[in-house]
Structure 1
């Protein structure tokens, strides 16, 4: 009887102790799992930061591939800097430029054009036009040694457009007046709150005409054609790749693979050289920026159509873009 009581007492004492041990063990396992997962994430992040696109792992001779897609804004400094780095890199022997853009800001187009022209003066450049490479999208292709396009590619559309809204009538209807105090009679003619005067229209037309002359000169120089020949083609109309070929706006109908093969043939040992993707994104400065860019960035991004619409309507001043 005493032995049974002793076993009961021992059992009653062991119960709470056993429960506490199990709880402590579970907490310890959870903490261990947390730190293991955290260590795994840190290792993956470190790996990606070491092997980000555009980071070289050694001085390997290669052909650079740069894709320019969507609307060209006037803030393309990262792209310009990337092209300049490629031009001065002794291990980059050529540039495969893949364009799928309806155009955009004149200033952004000229900046990229000038960078590609500088590159092309030292190393060969081939362009592969995709679905559309028009207006400023065609401008940046002009300095290339050879331009490839699909028969269905929409290209050309050489011209400049400036949209100047006039909201003055609407303001009058709702009883709002806009008084402008200017330093000269032309200063308010680009504003949408005052009517456009004949002399204001002439002034803005002069700006567009000058930008258009620059565009024509860029294409004539890049394509090695007379100015007047290009001017006749540059009434703003788009051309298909098949239409552009006899007009000397493109050199060959073909895809990106054919452009790559042609470019490799222009470079010593270029046929066997690897093609290296070029990123215009700067390396992330923080771990959070890295995680947001590679794991969470697209979750919160607006749809591509809305993003392009927003970029288009953010363009200010004269633009070289395929009308939609």
Structure 2
């Protein structure tokens, strides 16, 4: 009888120990999940960014309005990083998106030493963003400039005539919803669009002139829509120095007194799923899995991918692209 009691007591003791370790394991797991979630969140990334580092920010592809990117840059400005290097490789995008990015970078520059590095392309709206920095570094073969604005819209008038379709409408005034692509653009509608483009262009030119310290003659030379190589851009005051990230770090050390030898760590802006970027990435992975990566590369070379992306841009554009995609 006594033996049975001892066995029962031992079993109860073992159950209590097992319950304790189970609870402890659950608490540890929950704490780990919470910690990982915090670190992966945008606010957590800013919090855990070390004061002993330089943040590397990448601006790539077509530029659109992106509030998440703005908030991420604002958080970076409030973090403890020593400085920021912004890498730009973009043909530009919408004027509103480029202006939004420029303003966010201006706020960031007011709080942190910042330098821009042009790796391959900083054209049009991307160059607008670049001039937020007091110092722009570019490789000799990089393309810089394309200062200008355009407004593009398809016109299906001839196609509709061919298929025998006529679009009718009733509107409050002649310039309402003009141009619409279903009828020839009237002189009045074209004049209204021309006024919009010229106003945005004048603002863009003034921005470049102020930020880069150009006189009128030099501004006229660089703002005719052309792109320039890094070597040409240096002589035209579009950039400040030829080089790469190492050159940018040396400038931060010499001119902004950033501590020498600090590591450069990537600061990932919030990924965007509201446009075609996610779909394009998924398609690329699928083609890789099927062994059809060559086809994807050919489409990229042909400009098809960029043309599809262009379908997702609305409003006036500050954009440069060769090969008839403009």
Q: Same fold (TM over 0.5)?
A: yes
Which structure would you say has the larger Rg? Answer: 1
Change (3 A) 1:255 1:206: same
The structural deviation recorded for 1:168 is 1.3
Structural mapping, 1:91-110, within 5 Å? 91-110=80-99
Residue equivalent to 1:241: 230
Structural mapping, 1:273-312, within 5 Å? 273-281=262-270, 299-300=285-286, 305=300, 307-312=305-310
> TM-score if structure 1 supplies the norm length?
0.75
Is 1:257 paired with 2:255?
A: no
Residue equivalent to 1:314: 312
User: 1:136 touches 1:321 (CA, 8 Å); kept in 2?
Assistant: yes
- In the alignment, which of 144, 159, 169 is matched to residue 158 of structure 2? 169
Residue equivalent to 1:65: 56
The structural deviation recorded for 1:177 is 0.6
User: 2:72 touches 2:270 (CA, 8 Å); kept in 1?
Assistant: no
C-alpha distance in structure 2 between counterparts of 1:209 and 1:119, whole Å = 29
Change (3 A) 1:203 1:63: same
C-alpha RMSD of matched pairs (Å): 3.1
Deviations 1:74-126 (A, max 9, x none): x322221111112222x123210100101111111000001111222333211
- In the alignment, which of 76, 80, 85 is matched to residue 86 of structure 1? 76
Number of equivalences: 272
Deviations 1:217-260 (A, max 9, x none): 22112212235632332111111111111110011111121112
C-alpha distance in structure 2 between counterparts of 1:132 and 1:283, whole Å = 21
Structure 1 alignment gaps of length 5 or more: 1-41, 285-291
Residue equivalent to 2:67: 77
User: 2:90 touches 2:126 (CA, 8 Å); kept in 1?
Assistant: yes
Give SS of 2:121's match: strand
C-alpha distance in structure 2 between counterparts of 1:113 and 1:106, whole Å = 10
User: 1:53 touches 1:278 (CA, 8 Å); kept in 2?
Assistant: no
User: 1:96 touches 1:263 (CA, 8 Å); kept in 2?
Assistant: no
User: 1:66 touches 1:277 (CA, 8 Å); kept in 2?
Assistant: yes
Residue equivalent to 1:10: none
Is 1:232 paired with 2:218?
A: no
> TM-score if structure 2 supplies the norm length?
0.74
Give SS of 1:271's match: coil
C-alpha distance in structure 2 between counterparts of 1:283 and 1:110, whole Å = 19
User: 1:53 touches 1:277 (CA, 8 Å); kept in 2?
Assistant: no
Change (3 A) 1:301 1:69: farther
Structure 2 alignment gaps of length 5 or more: 1-28, 289-295
